[in-house]
Structure 1
Amino acid sequence: MIHAVFPLRALILTAGALAAVTVGAQSARSVREPVDEANPLVGTAPLDRADLLGNAPPPGEPAYSGQTSPGARVPHSGVEVAPVNVNIELSYPFGVPAPYHYPNATMIGFTAGGGPTYGGWAKPFFMPVVGDWTVPPAYTRVHYDKARETAAPGYYSVELDGGTKVELTATRLSGLMQFTFPRTDRAAVLVNLPRAGGTVEVVGDRMIRGLSTPGDRDVADGPYFIAEFSKPFTGFGTFRKSPGDNAIWGIGDKDVEANRRAIAGSYAGGYLKFAARDGATVQVKVAHGHSYAEAEARLRAEQPGWNFAGVRGAARAAWARLLNRVEVTGGTPRQRQLFYSTLFQSFASPRLVARKSETLVRRGGEASVVAYDRYSPVPYWDTARNQLTLLELIDPDLVAATMRSELETARERGYMNTSFHGDHAVLMYLGAMERGIPFDYAAAYDYLRKNATDTKGPRGYLDEYAARGWIADIVPEGNPSPPYAGGKAGMDKTLEYAWDDYALAQFARRLGKTEDAALFGKRGSNWRNVFDRSTGFMRGRTADGKWITPFDPQEPYYNFASKEASGWSNLWLVPHDVAGLVGALGGSAAFNAKLDAFFNTPYTPKGICRDCTGLIGQYVQGNQPDQHAPYLYAWSGQPWKTQRLVRRVLADLYGSDAAGYGYPGMDDQGSTSSWYVLSAMGFYPVDPSTPHYIIGSPIFDRVRLTMGSGKVLEVVARNNSAANMYIQSATLNGRPWTRPWFSHADIKAGATLVLMMGPKPNTGWGSAPSAAPPSASGGVQ
């Protein structure tokens, strides 16, 4: 059925409005909507087939899952209320704090933190307990049955062993927990801080508050928290946890003090007792801020009363409005669940960090009152490749607000935000311009240009890149093996900067800056400086121009020249000039042979590569550098291979585990999810700074995407099935379509793409050289 589309708006409702939403939701619950298909548990499990997983972590260390969270949140909210069943400080290596891992079945606590993946990094934990937990040694991990765990957009619930039911929901900047205790005279809620510490204070008989020492990921949320309870507690005190064996927090015999109201330090906590002889339901409202007053103001504005069902209903309605923008027909139940679950997870970033007129505090400690809603820094290395394009299609207003936040941050700091190796903010700004999103692009360009020219800015080793055309690498002493050899990742940075520079050249050209366009256009060819024709791979070079040896393209973490990728993966990191790469490899036939080898050469790990998961040959779906590679056959005359590979990735590398929740690797703020969403719909942006989409092979009979403009793009796949994965012919708006790509200009007024599918490749469709997508070496895009 076709669902009405409503504008996305702030979720701040009065108690009466919350009740109205609840009644409306209950009356319509008999109709299954996209929001009913989405399961936030999808993404929390690893793949379970060794041939697909690839990564072999050390004993005792879990394999990478999507590291998503099943917690309750609303779209792009600043708070997620989430279960925590792993010790985020000890269980995952190298600062990757995933609070939840589906295979685990013991709960540490529940937290209202700063969003998916990183929620709870420095926030208090809440844990309902029954019995005499004060008798040491006590551990507050509680086992639970997976069959009694439920997650839906805006809601999470679980029944713990012992009979306590926990339910979670959220608004934009506050969380709500509901604990339903069994009949007991020993019910309590423990509230404690993690290792970072801080202070905890019991206030009156309904509130606990505190100041948590913020980590880098949480500073924008505010270190102060307030938790208000719906019922008065009958007793209170303080305690202190300490790490024990197997990363279990314990409570020692001198760590509990009754009737004490305040405690400070690492693992400090307070406990609150409740009367529950006949069973009791206790609700807890939680908010954070840069002062107690700000945290309390958020609570009063977003949750003026006590109405769990109302808040939950409003959260569901917000997700329904968003997910209803994409309707699919056909496919299997598993495919529909995966589609709407990945669409849900695609909205993990950005998140709201301050509302208009609130205080925003940056990592350096500077504070200011913001003139409009501000969003979290964009993780460009991850999300600029696909997730931001999805947002540009579905929610351009959010993208405009994000660009405004990023520009304001640049004005405050002097440079545009960047992340990891590249400088990919330009991909977002140019991509948004190409898709017609109104903005002051000239103002953004000034900072993007400064990033690309000021050697004191965020681009690492920009001086040598600008002077030499590549960034030299240093062979570490002893040439250490993976996974974490030291180095500059110069080859990787050269490739990423070349991509950024070419996009910046197109940006400059559109603004009439011809000299800049020429400068950055030339730098866009710098990828050729790290391409070794003798091996047919990208390679690191020393300062004198020599190729770094030894070289093995199967090295899973060739970390002194690249990062999170092998030589095989980085070979394809030229999305702006695929035609140039085709030529460099010797033409279409040689390019196709190399790309075939990439997908067929067995993965032979020579060390730990935690990010190398979700494999097809050397292809790594679980990380960003080569996720566009299946679509490159569109440039070399064999788009049917793209169609076959896309179907294989969708079928094998998402949800193919026993639980059906597995991801090929880390979701990285919605990027791995967005790959699934776009590919399942039938198209993908290999270079998101351009307006071009490469056609793949949709898994649904019909996709109806209502774009932010209100115009509708329909992708219709006739005679579609698991076997009929190949495009036989196509029409766009009733006209024959022989290109394996289309432009945003082709769909911005609304469009219908009809694909006739069949069981065998039509090697003639989309294969003519003239049908290839635009590329830097093929003229201006």
Structure 2
Amino acid sequence: MYSNGRIDLKDSGQRYTGYGIYRGGWNEGPNYQVFMCAEFNVAPSSANTWHAPYSDPYDHIRGATIISGQQSITGGKDGYQYAERVGALLEFPPDTTILKSKVGVSFISTEKACRFIDEVRSWELNDTMKAAKKRWNTEILSKVTTSDINATRLTMLYSALYRAHLLPSNRTGENPYWESTEPYYDDYYAIWDTFRCLNSLYLLLKPQFAAETIRSLIDIWRFERFMPDGRSGNANGRVQGGSNADNVLADAYVKGLQKGINWTDGYLAMKTDAEVVPYNNFDAADPSGSTKEGRGALPDWHRYGYITPNFGRSISRTVEYSLNDFALSQVAKDLVPEDYQIYLDRSAGWQRIWHEDISSLNFIGFLAPTWPNGTVTPGYDPLDCGECEWSSHCYEALPVEYGWTVPFDMETLIELMGGPETMEQRLDAMFIPGLRRGDVGSGGTNTIGTTLFNPGNEPSFFTPFLYNYLPGRQYKSVRRLRDTVNSYYSTLPSGLPGNSDAGALDSWLIWNFLGLYPVVTQPIYMLSSPWFNNISLSVGDNARLTITAENLGDESYFVQSLMVNGKPWMKSWISHDDIKDGGSIEFILGSNMAIWDTGDLPPSPGHVKLDV
């Protein structure tokens, strides 16, 4: 929303400078100032400024007043956020048939915005387009290559790669608030969406970029006390669940990423999230605790080991805080060994809200909103989350969905569910049409899905891969994933099942096309089935990973056997070490649902069984 502004006409209007001051947005941040500088290729025949009253949404917008000959105008005193609207009115000679303009913007000054204009060397739009296309191809799209000629899949793949690299914004040198030698990134929008698989994609394809974003997160902690979860306009804001920058840092740490990251400070930043209660910003959506940064429900977490309904999102935040503390334990294991067991034990907090006497769908045992005395909210249904928003007991997903989101301790989860056979039956139920009673979450473009598994919202991202934790059932993951992509992803305008969310859904699609999927905070990837006959990825520093799929066809996509780096492979997962320096994964596919995955099951490094 506009707060204030200024326009200065120069060179009779052929160039102008100024700034706009804005506030609000999804993260509900404070005022931020954007400076501008622009020039035209033709001098105007007249140049004037105008002003108009502030746009009150409850009042009719009154007309503007033109001030003839005035070359500078401001909306009001500095700091006033209900200033008049201001602008410029330019007229050009009648024989002007083509008008061109260059515009530079900066968060620092108009002078810097003017310097950015010089980066656009040509007045020809096609020259700028060619330069942008070359940079996208060189830095992003060439990271993934294939000789496959399926036009639909190629369009989906490269469109997803494009959207997956739009945010966050590299604003190094454009930080208006502090000086630092560290990279500076803004528009983390938001890490709650991206930590599950987008940030892991950066780690594999663009480790230098991944390192810069992590260094930026740590530097924000140095100057603003907390790393962000959602950040835009140079301000932290909107924490949807846990302190999920912790997961991003741990995922990089366990995969050995260095590249200038100060891991001592990184762990201290994570520990701040785990131990320091952020001040309550009294967000109208949920005034029970901070939504600006950190973990707003930390008092309950420290006192009870879970979040009670005294705080909003009690179920979803309990599960997410558990993953956050597991993330801390993995970094502490090397850096601060005395903290390791503390956070590993705390990561089991989700078990404290697992109630074995709650039944649904003919199954027993579900997560539930749990009061301090251990009782459950009367009338609770694990297939319902009300509005599923900030003050609900679950955020943008059903409790039954969140019940699957503990990949660090699948061993305990399977035990609580009644063993592998029952776990498989419960997982099957997530994909039965008609069990979801309505839309859950926000931003869905496809509303036809009625399964409990929600392909358009991030808490369900990992669910189809969970069959890999069962012996000989990897083919079921492949079948579920094939159905999901074919049903909900396409090249049409509604070709995603929900908001892209800064590339979150797009990265999910990319991983599926590759036949891999990361288990965040662990250095492993689930194996599924690739969608291309061959595909080559740039990984690490100047290495290539080649993935091939022999016998791939419309009905031939189940894994029959595979080789990893030339060796026969019987596990449904691989480690980061297997591919970080390049290598090969060779799939042999067929139409039969073969049982080939007879090796070790994926690990549960956070296995802690509480006696609750």
TM-score for both structures, normalised by structure 1 = 0.67
Equivalents in 1 of 2:148, 2:302: separation in Å?
A: 52
Other-structure match for 1:514 = 337
Report the AA paired with residue 672 of structure 1.
L
- Do 2:438 and 2:450's aligned partners in 1 also have CA atoms closer than 8 Å? no
Distance 1:473 1:420 in 2: 16
Give yes or no for the alignment of 1:310 onto 2:127.
yes
Q: Is the 8 A contact 1:229 1:285 kept in 2?
A: no
Q: Is the Cα contact below 8 Å between 2:409 and 2:608 reproduced in 1?
A: no
Instruction: Read off the aligned partner of 1:545 and give its amino acid letter.
Output: G
1:619 aligns with 2:431: no
**Equivalent residue, structure 2, for 1:426:** 246
Of 462, 468, 482 in structure 1, the residue corresponding to residue 304 of structure 2 is 468
Amino acid at match of 1:421: G
Letter in 1 for 2:596: W
Which of 262, 277, 294 is residue 440 of structure 1 equivalent to?
262
2:491 paired with 1:681: no
**In structure 1, what is the equivalent of residue 170 of structure 2?**
352
1:215 aligns with 2:23: yes
Contact 1:703 1:714 (C-alpha < 8 Å) held by counterparts: yes
Residue 729 (structure 1) aligned to one of 561, 579, 585: 561
CA drift of 1:371 comes to 2.3
- 1:251–1:716 distance in 2 versus 1, CA, 3 Å: same
Alignment correspondent of 1:19 = none
Contact persistence 1:240–1:251 (CA under 8 A): no
Aligned-partner Cα distance in 1 for 2:581–2:608: 26
Q: Match for 2:375 among 513, 536, 546?
A: 546
Conserved? CA contact 1:741–1:773, under 8 Å:
yes
> Per-residue deviation at 1:267?
4.5
State the distance in 2 between where 1:241 and 1:330 align: 57
Give the match for residue 776 of structure 1: 605
In structure 2, C-alpha distance between the alignment counterparts of 1:320 and 1:327, rounded to whole Å: 11
Give the Cα–Cα distance (whole angstroms) in 1 for the partners of residues 441 and 202 of structure 2.
31
Q: What amino acid does structure 2 have at the position aligned with 1:542?
A: W
Instruction: Find the residue that maps to 2:395 and give its secondary structure.
Output: coil
SS in 2 for 1:198: strand
Alpha-carbon distance in structure 2 between the residues aligned to 1:608 and 1:737: 39
Pick aligned residue for 1:368 from 174, 178, 203: 178
- Name the SS of the counterpart of 1:599 in structure 2: coil
Give CA deviations for 1:1-55 in whole Å, capped at 9, x if unaligned.
Answer: xxxxxxxxxxxxxxxxxxxxxxxxxxxxxxxxxxxxxxxxxxxxxxxxxxxxxxx
CA distance in 1, matches of 2:61, 2:8: 19
Aligned residues: 557
Between the aligned partners of 2:275 and 2:308, the Cα distance in structure 1 is 18
Q: Is the 8 A contact 1:220 1:353 kept in 2?
A: no
Change beyond 3 A, Cα 1:668–1:607? closer
Give me the whole-angstrom Cα distance separating, in 1, the residues matched to 2:302 and 2:467: 32
Quote how far apart the aligned CAs of 1:753 are.
Answer: 0.6
**Which of residues 539, 543, 553 in structure 2 aligns to 1:707?**
539
Amino acid at match of 2:330: Q
Q: What displacement does 1:598 show?
A: 1.0
Aligned residue among 475, 489, 500 for 1:667: 500
Matched, 1:493 2:304: no
Question: Residue 701 of structure 1: CA displacement?
Answer: 0.7
Structure 1 residues 689 and 627 mapped into 2: Cα distance closer, same or farther (>3 Å)? Answer: same
Match of 1:533 in 2: 356
2:411 equivalent in structure 1:
579
Selected match of 1:403 from 211, 214, 225: 214
The 2-side partners of 1:341 and 1:308 are apart by: 22
Give the deviation of 1:276 after TM superposition.
5.2
Instruction: Tell me the distance in 1 between the aligned counterparts of 2:378 and 2:164.
Output: 40
Partner of 1:568: 400
8 Å CA contact 2:408–2:607 kept in 1: the answer is no
Q: State the 1:456 CA deviation.
A: 4.5
Following superposition, the deviation at residue 305 of structure 1 comes to: 5.5
2:285 maps to none
The change in CA–CA distance for 1:219 and 1:336 in structure 2 (over 3 A counts) is farther
- Aligned equivalents of 1:539 and 1:533: distance in 2? 10
Q: 1:233 aligns to what?
A: 44
State which of 596, 602, 610 in structure 2 corresponds to 1:765: 596
Tell me if the contact between 1:226 and 1:292 (Cα under 8 Å) persists in the aligned partners: yes
SS of the aligned residue for 2:7 comes to strand
How many Å apart are 1:626 and its aligned residue? 1.4
Letter matched to residue 90 of structure 2:
L
What is residue 283 of structure 2 aligned with on the other side?
Answer: none
Which residue type is aligned with residue 347 of structure 2? G
Distance 1:645 1:331 in 2: 25
State the distance in 1 between where 2:417 and 2:457 align: 24
Summarize deviations over 1:29-85 as a string: whole Å, max 9, x none: xxxxxxxxxxxxxxxxxxxxxxxxxxxxxxxxxxxxxxxxxxxxxxxxxxxxxxxxx
> What SS does structure 1 have at the residue aligned with 2:339?
helix
| Residue 640, structure 1, aligned to residue 475, structure 2 | yes
1:240 shift after superposition: 6.1
The residue type paired with residue 181 of structure 2 is A
Q: Does 1:390 align with 2:192?
A: no
User: How many angstroms apart in 2 are the aligned matches of 1:342 and 1:291?
Assistant: 34
Q: Is the contact made by 2:540 and 2:580 (CA closer than 8 Å) also made in structure 1?
A: no
* Contact 1:241–1:255 (Cα < 8 Å) also in 2: yes
Q: Distance in 2 between matches of 1:504 and 1:459?
A: 14
Per the TM alignment, residue 316 of structure 1 is displaced from its structure 2 partner at its CA by: 1.1
In structure 2, C-alpha distance between the alignment counterparts of 1:561 and 1:537, rounded to whole Å:
14
* Equivalent position amino acid for 2:529 in 1: S
The equivalent of 1:756 in structure 2 is 588
Partner amino acid, structure 2, of 1:530:
I
What amino acid maps onto 1:269 in structure 2? Answer: G
Please give the alpha-carbon distance, in whole angstroms, between the structure 1 residues aligned to 2:444 and 2:306: 26
Q: CA deviation at 1:725?
A: 1.8
Say if 1:339 and 1:220 are closer, same or farther in 2 by CA, change over 3 A: farther
- What's the offset of the Cα at 1:413? 2.0
Alpha-carbon distance in 2 for matches of 1:216, 1:738: 52
State the shift of 1:552 in Å.
Answer: 2.3
Cα separation, 2, equivalents of 1:753 and 1:220: 50
For the aligned residues, what is the CA RMSD? 2.8
**1:655 maps onto 2:490 in alignment:** yes
Q: State the partner residue of 1:199.
A: 6
Judge conservation of contact 2:388–2:440 (CA < 8 Å) in 1: no
CA contact (8 A) 2:143 2:205 kept: yes
Code of the aligned partner of 2:434: P
Residues 21-100 of structure 1: pairs in structure 2 closer than 5 A: none
What is the match of residue 295 of structure 1? 113
Q: Which residue of 2 aligns with 1:505?
A: 329
TM-score normalised per structure 2:
0.84
The SS at the match of 1:208 is: strand
Q: Go from structure 1 to structure 2 and tell me whether the alpha carbon gap of 1:622 and 1:276 turns closer, same or farther (over 3 Å shift).
A: farther
Matches within 5 A, 1:131-146: none
1:741 aligns with 2:573: yes
Alpha-carbon distance in 2 for matches of 1:719, 1:382: 35
SS of the equivalent of 1:507 reads helix
Question: How far 1:252 moved relative to its partner?
Answer: 6.1
- Counterpart of 2:415 in structure 1: which amino acid? G
Read off the aligned partner of 1:765 and give its amino acid letter.
W
Name the residue aligned to 2:236. Answer: none
Q: Cα–Cα, structure 1 residues 613 and 543, in superposed 2: closer, same or farther, change >3 Å?
A: farther
Give the helix-richer structure, 1 or 2: 2
1:771–1:220 Cα change, 3 Å: farther
The amino acid across from 1:665 in the alignment is: G
Q: Structure 1: where are the runs of 5+ without partners?
A: 1-121, 123-194, 362-366, 475-486
Identity across matched positions, percent: 23
Q: CA 1:682–1:653 in 2, change beyond 3 Å: closer, same or farther?
A: same
- Checking the alignment, whether the CA contact within 8 Å between 1:242 and 1:267 is kept in structure 2 is yes
Relative distance call for 1:469 and 1:251 in structure 2 (3 A) is closer
> 1:377 Cα shift?
5.8
The alpha carbon displacement at 1:347 in A equals: 0.8
Residue deviations 1:572-623 (CA, integer Å, cap 9, x gap): 1212112221111111111111111111141544577534665361111222
CA positional deviation for 1:220 = 9.9
Deviates more, 1:488-497 or 1:407-416: 407-416
Q: Which amino acid is the alignment partner of residue 462 of structure 1?
A: L
The DSSP-based 3-state class of the residue aligned with 1:775 is coil
CA 1:504–1:701 in 2, change beyond 3 Å: closer, same or farther? same
